[in-house]
Amino acid sequence: MIRRSILYFLLLAGALFTTLPFIWMATTAFKSLTEAVSPTLVWWPAEWQWHNFVETFQAAPFGRYFFNSFLVGFVVTGAVVLTSLAAGYAFARLDFHGRTALFGVVMATMMIPFEVTLIPNYVLIRNLGWYNTYAALIVPWCANAFSIFLMRQAFMSLPADYFDAAKVDGCGHLRFLIRIAAPLVKPAMVTVGLFAFLGSYNSLLWPLIVTSEDTMRVLQVGLTVFSGAEGVRLHLLMCASTIVILPTVALYFAAQRYFLESSLGSGIKG
Amino acid sequence: MAKSGFGFRVSGFGYWLWQKGLQLVHAGTCTLKRFTRHPTPDTRHPIPAFLATAVLLFIVGCGGGGGVATGQFKPINESAAVFWDRQTTETAELLRTIADEFNAKRPGALPVKVEHTGGYKEIFQKVTASVQAGALPSMAVAYQSMTAEYIQARAVVALEPLINDPVIGLTSSDLDDFFPVVLDTNKYPDSGNKMYSFPFCKSTLMLYFNKKVLADAGFDGPPKTWGEFLEQCRQVKAKTGKAAYPVSVDCSTIAAMIFSMGGEVASGRQTLFDQPAAIKTFELLETLAKEQLAYQIPPGTYDDEMALSQGSAAFTMRSSSGRTSIALLMKDAQDDWGMTAIPQDDPAHPSTVLFGPNVCIFNTTPEQQRTAWEFIKFFTSPEMSVRWALGTGYLPIRKSAANNPDIKKFWGEWPYNRAAFDCLPFAKSEPNLAGWQEVRTLVETAETEVLTGVKTARDAAAALKQKADAVLARQ
């Protein structure tokens, strides 16, 4: 009993320690600028500045940014789940020449940093006439090696007997993938989807580079309006950040069970 | 070895590979265009096209953005002269309003469109990428170090033909109205001393002080010389226990201190960090740090401004454009602080550093270039210069601003409002040398080493001189 109490106490302390920055962010959203940038830690605002939210929404068209972020995020998520499902299955279950080599090539793309491909990708987008379009925000992120790897590992964990039994009943690869395999790897799919959504939702540099109009920009770009060369309006930045992280927190809690299952199963550290 | 733009050196084979890569980009994307735009794709070459695209991604990726841009670039927007800028919130709104007024004066002509493109780093990245894509905006905000890179890529145009144009150019009286330093800072010695950019947002380094802290230490005003500055810091520490000066490590501040001690930072392509003024600057910082009169704040933060506003420090040195943010922090104690010229070795011959970005015009179509120039001319007209200064906290860049009733009213509102403008005649800019951006990082490293006691002032200055000269010699 005592050991369990100590364990819970440590876990609680750890959880509190982890959430402290978020608590500070949320309370700073209601502080004045002076309190927000104070070198001494101020936890609670002396006077709650509700008008910070009005000022935040007046500083940039956050409504449009929300719409764009969700649109891009959901389309990218759907596309990544589909492509990684198909590619992961192919690498796990289909026998074809050069499978190992091709998988190696796909994995090798994980070693190339984003900064290296930024310029060529931008050149490609410009030459395709996709500059300042949703296509530029979505298409380059519709498949990625990490998600393919994750799905491949999930498919490899399924016993081969499942497919053999399905084959005896006349089931082809596509039907087996859709009707049998995909439901069995649902936690991995949710994890892939969650990573894809968060990656898209949190991206800044790419949307900033390939868009020019407010109508095409996303939330993370919107957050930059509070940082200038002469200083940061920290109270408004924290206010916007608090609003911006709400959907991702909600999404995490909704998908928490699958996320944990898959993370623990695949050995991924958060 | 061929020298490319953006600081990359490309070998003969690498350059050939790069050109082939670009040809493949063209072939690949043209076919992809057909493939994506028609319901029935051209099936003759889809696989080579995709292969080409894959190969080009590899080659271009390996190229890392090198490559030599030649000739004219396409405008990024055919129907508007796009201006990539970094202003946010109220200042962005003001810039857009000014652009709207400019457009309203020219019905039917190519309009100017201001686009927020993040900070300077993002603007540089986007211009770099756009150079490779062959399409650029009409103009963009740029520091001299950024423009120096654009010049190497032949992406920007020299402004003399536009400035001297009999119809849309500037008259000699117009040119005389600008403070010489704001024009000179846009001349590039490595490129025939031509003007490749025009002043946009200008400010000078200022000394901000907390009057209450100084009063507690027994002083009724800020220091005029570095000797007085050191003495005031010592008294602040002795009488209030506070570290007087939180230091924001910054190359421009070091340059300003060297200027104010009667020195220069470079002569030709040789730096002067081993000269008496530079050594004196580093020794002052060494003394301040050793006696715990100064401390280094985390990079990128504004902790010094906070410390000043909360009365836990006596001084900070920041750009005059920072006045608005300090005013916000001290809005309830406007009489408790002030700003003045930085201390000098010889107050009779003062000097400080000139800050602020410029605007450059890209090598696109003549119509885009003319529109960009006409906008710059409009934006820097005496009236707009004052309006921009009053709305943003930057300095009016014309001498005639001193006679403007609005600016006179502004100066009358607070005793220190005029201080930065009075520094403009003796402000100097850092050198416009290719490689100076790298030197800036070395200076900041040396400053950190002195403040943290890793090196003595003399050792840091000597090492800095050696490394900085090597960087400049490499260019």
- Whether A119 and B132 lie within 8 Å, measured CB to CB: yes
**Residue of chain A whose alpha carbon sits nearest to that of B52:** A124
Going by pLDDT thresholds of 50, 70 and 90, the confidence category of residue A210 is very high
The residue type of B432 is N
CB B455 within 8 A of CB B290: no
Residue B12's pLDDT is 42
Same domain, yes or no, for A67 and A45? no
Cα(first)–Cα(last) distance of chain A, in Å? 30
Of B183, B118, B128, B134, the closest CA to residue B150 belongs to: B128
CB B460 within 8 A of CB B282: yes
Going by pLDDT thresholds of 50, 70 and 90, the confidence category of residue B19 is very low
Please check whether residue A14 touches B, CB under 8 A.
no
Same domain, yes or no, for A30 and A152? no
Residue B61's pLDDT is 41
Structural domain contains residue A13: yes
For residue B199, what are the β-bridge partners?
B358
Name the residue range of residue A8's domain. 1-49
Q: Where are the beta strands (DSSP E) in B53-182?
A: 74-75, 81-85, 112-116, 135-136, 139-142
> Tens of pLDDT along B238-297?
999 998 999 999 999 999 999 999 999 999 889 999 999 999 999 999 999 999 999 999
Same domain, yes or no, for A211 and A252? yes
CA–CA distance, A239 with A48 (Å, rounded to integer): 12
Q: Which residues of A touch B89 (CB under 8 A)?
A: 59, 225-226, 228, 233
Owner of token pair 């493109």: B117
The answer, yes or no, to whether residue A247 has pLDDT greater than 90, is no
Structural domain contains residue A114: yes
The nearest CA of chain A is from the CA of B35 a distance in Å of 10
Number of domains, chain A: 2
Give the residue-averaged pLDDT of B6-33: 44
Residues 139..158 of B with a Cβ closer than 8 Å to A: which?
none
Same domain, yes or no, for A97 and A119? yes
Residues 166..225 of A with a Cβ closer than 8 Å to B: which?
205, 208-209, 212-213, 221, 224-225
Q: Which of B128, B306, B324 sits opposite A39 (nearest CB)?
A: B306
Going by pLDDT thresholds of 50, 70 and 90, the confidence category of residue B333 is confident
Structural domain contains residue A129: yes
How many interface pairs between A and B have CB atoms less than 8 angstroms apart?
A: 117
CA–CA distance, B142 with B433 (Å, rounded to integer): 15
Give the residue-averaged pLDDT of B436-448: 93
The answer, yes or no, to whether residue A96 has pLDDT greater than 80, is yes
The residue type of B395 is L
How do beta strands B112-116 and B81-85 pair? Answer: parallel
**DSSP structural state of residue B1:** -
Q: ipTM of this predicted complex?
A: 0.75
Same domain, yes or no, for A87 and A2? no
Residue B272's pLDDT is 97
> Tens of pLDDT along A160-178?
888 888 888 888 899 999 9
**Which residue among A49, A70, A86 closes a domain?**
A49
Owner of token pair 């009063």: B215
Cα dihedral angle (B440, B446, B450, B453), rounded to 10 degrees?
Answer: 140
Q: Which of B30, B115, B128 sits opposite A119 (nearest CB)?
A: B128
Same domain, yes or no, for A142 and A225? yes
Question: What are the start and end residues of each CATH 3.40.190.10 domain in chain B?
Answer: 79-201+356-422, 203-353+433-474
Using the Cα atoms of residue B45, residue B49, residue B50 and residue B55 in order, give the sign of their dihedral.
Answer: positive
Q: Which residues contact B260 (CB under 8 A, 6 or more apart)?
A: B226, B342, B343, B344, B345, B350, B351, B352
- Whether B130 and A127 lie within 8 Å, measured CB to CB: no
**DSSP structural state of residue A178:** I
Structural domain contains residue A183: yes
Q: Which residues contact B2 (CB under 8 A, 6 or more apart)?
A: B9, B10, B11, B12, B15, B68
Going by pLDDT thresholds of 50, 70 and 90, the confidence category of residue B374 is very high
> Tens of pLDDT along B62-96?
333 333 334 489 999 999 999 999 888 788 889 99
Of B221, B220, B223, the closest CA to residue B293 belongs to: B223
CATH class of B79-201+356-422: alpha beta
Please check whether residue B309 touches A, CB under 8 A.
yes
Please check whether residue A232 touches B, CB under 8 A.
yes
Please check whether residue A105 touches B, CB under 8 A.
no
Owner of token pair 């190359």: B251
- Whether A122 and B132 lie within 8 Å, measured CB to CB: yes
The nearest CA of chain A is from the CA of B370 a distance in Å of 22
CB B251 within 8 A of CB B414: no
Q: What is the DSSP string of B403-455?
A: G-HHHHHHHHHSTTTTHHHHHGGGEEPPP--TTHHHHHHHHHHHHHHHHHTSS
Residue B254's pLDDT is 97
**DSSP structural state of residue B179:** -
Angle between helices B251-260 and B436-452 (to 10 degrees): 80
CA–CA distance, B324 with B326 (Å, rounded to integer): 6
Give the residue-averaged pLDDT of A127-150: 93
Same domain, yes or no, for A96 and A188? yes
User: A12-21, A228-237, B295-304: which range is least confident on average?
Assistant: A228-237
Residue A56's pLDDT is 86
Q: Which CATH superfamily is domain B203-353+433-474 in?
A: Periplasmic binding protein-like II (3.40.190.10)
Entry pTM = 0.77
Alpha helices in B191-268 (DSSP H): 211-216, 226-240, 251-260
Residue B224 φ/ψ, nearest 5 degrees: -105, -25
Centre a 10 Å sphere on the Cβ of residue B275 and count the other Cβ atoms it contains. Answer: 18
Q: Which of B36, B309, B329 sits opposite A128 (nearest CB)?
A: B36
CA–CA distance, B379 with B375 (Å, rounded to integer): 6
Q: What six digits make up the tokens of A65? A: 């940014």
The answer, yes or no, to whether residue A258 has pLDDT greater than 80, is no
CA–CA distance, B172 with A39 (Å, rounded to integer): 51
- Whether A212 and B82 lie within 8 Å, measured CB to CB: yes
Same domain, yes or no, for A40 and A75? no
